[in-house]
Amino acid sequence: MNQIRLDKFISERTEYSRSVIKQLVKSGKVLVDGKAAKAADMKIIPGENMVCVDGNEIRESRFRYILLNKPAGYVCSTDDKDGETVMKLLPPEMRTKNMFPAGRLDKDSLGALLITDDGELAHRILAPKSHIPKIYIVKLDRPFESEYINKFKNGITLKDGEQCLPAKVRRAENCEKLAFVELCEGKYHQVKRMFAAVENHVETLMRISLGGLVLPEKLAVGECMELLHKDVENLLKPTDFDDFCARFDPVFSAFLINNQM
């Protein structure tokens, strides 16, 4: 089994610097297998030795994957020059030095956002050639029109002339102003611009799935959860749009009707 220095292990999985870790060890706040660590440079075996810092267990996995149910009013950035960032919504014990939002949601949009420090996975999710589907529910200013289905399927031409890839759209069952949209690309403000191209306006937008990973009904707006390995695998799996809508229409339609309308 490969050994690693304790301070390196902690530093790679938290926001703590090596110097801070050294002080935490001196103050007895770093435990290895339940006992206070004697030195920051002691060797441990990831997965075999249990490490806790200030009462929080440090997981073996090198990378972390956090699913946030993003609220409106936060920007998808690590820099707060444009306003409060989604990073502020993560509890300190979930953060690492190199975390960033994998993908974007507009400041006024809601829903599923992956935050991670795994650059390779983020690239796979965001790369256009991967065609990872993302599903949104939107509240429209005017009632949904059946002609939208074929227009989206054929690839909407935006008002500035930019061409979109084929997409899927359907009206929600219980409200003529709610619709589900599936995209496999991520142009700037794309969903809003697509509906603008068919002379409608998106009042509220919420992303509800990333690949095969569905936003959990019990994850409240503003809350986040750490993803398990099987959840991360689901990010790269395709989903059946019609089956998804049939299963989750009542859940997400009710959310927008009760909270946003």
Among all residues, which ones are annotated catalytic?
106
Residue 75's DSSP bridge partners are: 85
Q: Please state, as a whole number, how many other Cβ atoms lie within 10 Å of the Cβ of residue 108.
A: 14
Q: Under DSSP, is residue 75 helix (H, G, I), strand (E, B) or coil?
A: strand
Comparing CA positions, the residue from 173, 200, 144, 142 lying closest to residue 254 is 173
The dihedrals phi and psi of 117, each to the nearest 5 degrees, come to -115, 15
> How many Å separate Cα 141 from the centre of its chain?
27
User: Burial, 4: exposed, middle or buried (Cβ in 10 Å; 0-12, 13-18, 19+)?
Assistant: middle
**How far, CA to CA in Å, does 125 sit from each of 66, 85, 169, 197?**
14, 21, 21, 27
The dihedrals phi and psi of 134, each to the nearest 5 degrees, come to -130, 135
